[in-house]
Amino acid sequence: MKRRAFITTVVSGAALTALGSMNLIAAPTKGKGGKRSKGGQPATPAGFRAGAATSNITPALGVVLDGTIMQIGPAKHVHDELHARCLALDDGATRVAFVICDTTMISRELVDRARQLISQTTGIPPSHILISATHTHSSPRLIDLGLGEANRRYEDFAVQRMADGVQRAVNSLAPARVGWGSVQKPEHVHNRRWLLKPDHSLVNPFGEKTDRAWMYAPKEVALEPAGPVDPEVAFLAVQHTEGRPLAVLANCALHYVGGIPAGTISADYFGVFCRRLEELLGATQDPPFVAMMSNGTCGDVSNKRMGDAGEPRPALSGPYGKMRFVGHDVAEAVAAAFKSVQYQDRPTLAAVESELSLGVRRPDAARLEWAKKTAVPGPATNKLTRPQIYAREVLHLAEMPPQEPFRLQSIRIGDIAVGAIPCEVFAETGLAIKKQSTARHTFVIELANGFHGYLPTPRQHELGGYETWPARSSHLEVAASDKIQAEMLRLLGRVIGAASAP
């Protein structure tokens, strides 16, 4: 398949001259009062500014949560509120925004709706807005799954609250500076895919014994992790010019940790991290300090260690114990590192976005015939077997178009580059992007600007296992990760080259 990639936007006034003949569009920002100077250039005050805010996106009880979809049960309790945490940055010529939402995943359709609304109210171009999900499983999916009117209403509510949060962040823009920080927390990240011993096999949903890797394989058949992990917790530190903390945008390559009762709404460790860091760095200031935790490349990463599947560690036992333990520990490490961050006073902003066309793994005739014989008609219930569930998925895949549009994005903040991929990306892909990026500092946010399922590498596809089984949750072509990695590196190179060094 021939790959198509189109640069849709790169920003930074000075960058346009340097990039010569590229088809780029300058994206001026609104200044105070929304005024612009002649030639479309912004009328903002000189210097770098930042603003941050949170919007409460907790749904009404009764919505179907991600963790209860297979149970067909509603939300019955709220343990802790969900939020859209927003950060706006403005260098006087370009403006960008980050929106990190406490939800499992967000469809591209809803991302586009939110981007358009944000752009209408703030003037920030849609391509300069990064919207991502943390992937807490104790929230509704912001995807149209036909789960009822309560969930549909929640989609509208969440989109509006995202826009409100960015508007408030823009309203709070103040002179600021940014820096980079990083800590290593290997004790919290473990590859959840385990290679099987050569003389053992397990049957996948399609009745095959071809898989050589398995998520949380039983101890008696588990050999070793099937891939690496990324132990780095990287963060963008934003500070008022007089030294007060303004915001932190952190990135941790760890799935939700769970331990949350069914039917309970919670932001998982992502929310615990934010609350704890706000306590440590800015509990009493006005406007409030805002902590944000984005999800890194962790499609195959868990908090469970090899060999202890289903056996909680003593320190993490009890409801909410795991998320408190992880969230507090990571927040305290970031707070300690925050003290030694070196800041840039005039960082330059830029953004790049492109779109690929990727193939869909539609079923062949034999798999489709199996699915028709195995699938159970009528509404899904919690009594479906795993083969029946995947038979339904095969039938869904058969109805999907052969190609799927796929958006990638990169944003530059001084010498820091942020990549955005709308998948659950395997750790080895994220590590390769970090290693090969030409930016001084790089991190990748997954589940950003849409949702296209898991992104195993070709090697992991060969090994098989849950994350590779053909379904709507894993439907992209086998070579997708290679194509996405190459395009992401190209975008990072473009965005770093889009503006002169600060």
Rounded distance between C-alpha atoms, residue 304 and residue 438, angstroms: 33
Residue 152 phi, psi (nearest 5): -65, -45
* CA distance from start to end of the chain: 40
Instruction: Compute the mean pLDDT over every residue in the chain, rounded to the nearest whole number.
Output: 88
What is the reported pLDDT for 328? 96
Kindly give the parts of the chain with pLDDT less than 70: 1-46, 67-73, 283, 306-317, 379-382, 498-502
Tokens of 258: 């769970």
User: Measured between alpha carbons, how far is 58 from 293 in angstroms, rounded to an integer?
Assistant: 17
| Tokens 């072509």, residue located | 477
Residues 6+ apart with CB under 8 A from 195: 212, 213, 222, 223, 224, 225, 226, 463
* pLDDT tens-digit readout, 476-499: 999 999 999 999 999 999 999 865
Q: Are 247 and 206 in contact (CB under 8 A)?
A: no
- What does the DSSP 8-state code read for residue 379? S
148-164 pLDDT, tens digit per residue, is 888 999 999 999 999 99
Question: Domain residues of the chain, as ranges?
Answer: 47-340+426-465
- At 125 the pLDDT is 97
The rounded distance, in Å, linking the Cα atoms of 123 and 277 is 31
Question: In a 3-state reduction of DSSP, which class is residue 97?
Answer: strand
Q: How far apart are CA 368 and CA 152, in angstroms?
A: 31
Q: Which residue has the tokens 């934010």?
A: 274
% the chain with pLDDT above 90:
76
Paired residues of 77 in beta bridges = 264
Whether residue 470 is preceded by a cis peptide bond, meaning omega within 30 degrees of 0, is no
pLDDT of residue 20: 28
Q: What is the pLDDT of residue 212?
A: 96
The phi and psi torsions of 29 (rounded to 5 degrees) equal -105, 160
| SS3 label, residue 460 | helix
Token reading at 431: 């590590």
Q: Which two tokens stand for residue 95?
A: 């403006």
Short-list 101, 253, 254, 233, CA closest to 180:
233
Q: DSSP H helical segments within 64-171, as ranges?
A: 108-122, 149-171
pLDDT at 286: 87
Distances from the Cα of 467 to the Cα of 213, 246, 421, angstroms: 10, 38, 17
pLDDT for position 318? 75
> In this structure, which amino acid lies at residue 428?
E
Q: How far apart are CA 6 and CA 355, in angstroms?
A: 6
- Give the pLDDT confidence of 311-358 residue by residue, as tens digits: 445 455 678 999 999 999 999 999 999 999 999 999 999 999 999 999
